Amino acid sequence: MRKRTRRLVGVGILAGIAIAVWRFWRANVPQQPRDIEWASAPFPFPPVPRPAAPPKVEWVDPNEDGSCPVSHPIKGKSSSGIYHVPGGANYDRTHADRCYVDEDAALKDSMRRSKI
């Protein structure tokens, strides 16, 4: 019984040392950059790194005068829950709270299209 207990204590000590070494190693190894994707290449060439595509921004804040930037032309009004598309009857007079990249982005944000 004593031999078995000594073995278990020895295994526990070795496991503790192994975990401590592993944590020390993980803390000191630099992290790999996350903004690089690897494109596959034909065999036997290694993969070629390329920058990752930037995330698509669904909406942005409007300009100072309430107009929307060219990249996000859909005007959304949060008080009414309505969005206006360019060329609509009330588009020019609407001061936007949010500017959307497309109609799908406005719909995802619980907006509805203006009737006029």
Q: How far apart are CA 48 and CA 54, in angstroms?
A: 18
Give me the number of domains the chain comprises: 2
Cβ atoms within 10 Å, residue 84? 24
7 and 47 in a single domain? The answer is: yes
Average pLDDT over residues 85-108: 94
Pull the structure tokens for residue 22: 């592993």
Strands 48-51 and 74-77: unpaired
10 and 46 in a single domain? The answer is: yes
Distances (CA, A) of 52 to 5, 31, 37, 39, 55: 54, 17, 5, 10, 9
Prediction pTM value: 0.54
Query: Closest Cα partner for 50 from 62, 36, 64, 61?
Result: 36
63 and 107 in a single domain? The answer is: yes
pLDDT computed for residue 54 by the predictor: 75
More confident residue, 32 or 72: 72
**Over the stretch 29-52, which tens digit does the pLDDT of each residue have?**
877 767 777 666 666 677 677 777
Domain that holds residue 103: 59-113
